[in-house]
């Protein structure tokens, strides 16, 4: 079983991202389970969404505390939310940030993938400068960094699950897929 935790802000698309990736996994014959965590969220407040994917039906229905992958849709969350808490040492952090990012800069010394999903979203007219909708761009990066599903499956999920600006979202996913950069793990030992 693969477990993914998404961290975003209300309105940026973290919940949508988890649902689209679940749909893409389902299209490939896998068993996905996507669900959000909602408290008193409002636009701009931190939001968490979860996704499990397995080759067999899933019976567990709990929050994901030790994810294999953490996806961060808004880099400023690194200062206020413990986004890498519980991330497995051999896991992967996928970060929306302007490359290059120094190894271990996000507080995680393992594998990190970086993409400027904000610039991709804005270039494709997704959201505004104050609220860029980065979900499809970051998903392209997740698929590019992990191979969890094929890009074609993600594109099919976008066509099915996004009601507006479908072509712009498809283009954002494709650009995120191509633009993702892997950062070498940090070998430094924390003080």
pTM confidence score: 0.91
**Is residue 188's pLDDT more than 70?**
no
DSSP readout, 106-144? TS--SEEEEE-HHHHHHHTT-B-SSSB--HHHHHHHHHH
Whole-number percent of the chain with pLDDT over 90? 70
All structural domains of the chain: 2-183 (3.40.920.10)
Q: What is the pLDDT of residue 108?
A: 85
Q: What is the mean pLDDT of residues 11-19?
A: 90
| pLDDT tens, residue by residue, 139-154 | 999 999 999 999 999 9
Rounded distance between C-alpha atoms, residue 39 and residue 151, angstroms: 32
| pLDDT tens, residue by residue, 117-147 | 999 999 999 999 988 999 999 999 999 999 9
Q: Which residue has the tokens 């701009």?
A: 44
Q: What is the pLDDT of residue 30?
A: 97
Residues 140 and 172: beta-carbon distance below 8 Å: yes
| pLDDT tens, residue by residue, 157-167 | 999 999 999 99
Q: Per-residue confidence at 191, pLDDT binned at 50, 70, 90?
A: very low
Helices (H), the chain: 14-27, 77-80, 117-123, 135-146, 151-161, 166-179
């Amino acid at each position: 079983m693969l477990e993914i935790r998404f961290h975003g802000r209300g309105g940026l698309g973290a919940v949508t991202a988890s649902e689209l990736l679940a749909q893409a996994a389902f299209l490939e014959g896998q068993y996905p389970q996507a669900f959000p965590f909602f408290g008193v969220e409002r636009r701009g407040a931190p939001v968490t969404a979860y996704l499990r994917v397995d080759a067999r039906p899933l019976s567990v229905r709990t929050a994901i505390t030790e994810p294999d992958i953490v996806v961060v849709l808004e880099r400023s969350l690194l200062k206020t939310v413990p986004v890498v808490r519980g991330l497995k040492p051999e896991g992967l952090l996928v970060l929306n940030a302007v490359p290059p990012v120094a190894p271990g800069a996000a507080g995680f010394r393992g594998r990190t993938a970086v993409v400027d999903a904000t610039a991709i979203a804005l270039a494709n007219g997704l959201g505004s400068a104050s609220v860029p909708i980065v979900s499809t761009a970051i998903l392209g990066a997740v698929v590019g960094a992990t191979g969890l599903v094929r890009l074609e499956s993600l594109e099919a999920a976008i066509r099915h699950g996004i009601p507006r600006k479908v072509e712009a979202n498809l283009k954002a996913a494709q650009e995120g897929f191509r633009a993702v950069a892997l950062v070498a793990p940090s070998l430094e030992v924390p003080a």
